[in-house]
Amino acid sequence: MADWMIRVTPVGPLQMNSVLVTVPGPDGPASMLIDPGEEPERLLQIAHEAGAPVVAMVATHGHFDHVGAAAAIQQELQLPLLCHADDLPLIHALPETMRAYGFPPAQVPRCEAVLSDDHPLVVAGQEIPVRHVPGHSPGHVMFLFPGRVVAGDCLFKGSIGRTDLPGGSFAVLEKSIRERIYTLPDETVVICGHGPDTTVGEERTGNPFVRD
C-alpha cells in the first residue's frame, strides 16, 4: 500500500465504516469516498485534511446507513453517488426506510448506476476493480486495492452480513464470499462495513458462517 492511504471513519448510530481512499497518480493524488453514510460535515473535513480532491463518491450498497449522507455531501462536492443498478430501488426508498427504522429521513441522492464487474473506477489514473458480491443486498459491490478490499457488509470479523432484509439471500451471499473474497490471497486485509478489519485467511478458516 505504499503511497496509498486509507482512512476508515465509523459514523452514525450504527457505526458504519465510511472509507476515504487516497490514490497516488502521475498528476498528483486523488481520493474516493466509499459509503457516505452519516455525519457529512465530518466526512468532508476528513476529505479536506487528506489534501487530495475527492473525484468519486461510491456505495458498496444501498442501505440507508451507507448512503444517508450522500445528498448532503453532493451539495459540496457536486458528485453523483455511483452504485450498482440492482440497488437503485433501495436508495430511492431511502426516506421511507429511515422513517421505518426511527431515523430522520435523508434526501435521495443523485445516482449513477454504473458500478459493475465490467466497469472499474479510474482514480488518479489508476483502475480500481469493482466486484459484484450480492447476497446482503442485490447490488452489493466491493472494491479492490493493493493488499486490501473494501467489502461493505458482505463479511465481518467472525460474522457475515444479514440476509433477512429485502433482497437478501444466504445462499447468494455464501457464493459471493466463497468465489469472490475467499479466492483472494489469505493476507488480504478486509475492511468491513462495521467493526474491525480482518483478513481473508482468518475468515476462510475460522468464520463460523462461511468457512472451508
83 — phi, psi (to 5°)?
Answer: -150, 175
> What's the rounded Cα separation, in Å, for the pair 16 and 37?
7
**CA–CA separation, 78 and 114 (whole Å):** 17
Grid coordinates 479510474 are at which residue?
122
Is the separation of the CB atoms in 157 and 191 below 8 Å? no
Lookup: cell for 99: 422513517
pLDDT of residue 9: 98
Grid cell listed for 177: 464470499
- The dihedrals phi and psi of 35, each to the nearest 5 degrees, come to 60, 75
For 131, the 3-state DSSP assignment is: strand
CA 194 to chain centre: 10
Tell me whether strands 130-132 and 141-145 are parallel, antiparallel or unpaired.
antiparallel
- What is the C-alpha to C-alpha distance for residues 164 and 49, in angstroms, rounded to an integer? 38
User: Domains in the chain, ordered, with CATH?
Assistant: 5-206 (3.60.15.10)
Residue by residue, pLDDT tens for the chain (212 residues) are 458 999 999 999 999 999 999 999 999 999 999 999 999 999 999 999 999 999 999 999 999 999 999 999 999 999 999 999 999 999 999 999 999 999 999 999 999 999 999 999 999 999 999 999 999 999 999 999 999 999 999 999 999 999 999 999 999 999 999 999 999 999 999 999 999 999 999 999 999 999 98
User: In terms of pTM, does the model score above 0.95?
Assistant: yes
Look up residue 13 and give its DSSP letter: T
Return the pLDDT at 138.
Answer: 98
Q: Is 98 helix (H, G, I), strand (E, B) or coil?
A: helix
Dihedral sign, Cα of residue 73, residue 120, residue 147, residue 133: positive
The span from the CA of 191 to the CA of 153, in Å, is 10
Q: With H, G, I as helix, E, B as strand and everything else as coil, classify residue 43.
A: helix
**Gap between the Cα atoms of 182 and 196, Å rounded:** 18
- Which H/E stretch holds residue 21? strand 16-23
Residue count of the chain: 212
Question: Which 8-state DSSP code applies to residue 85?
Answer: G
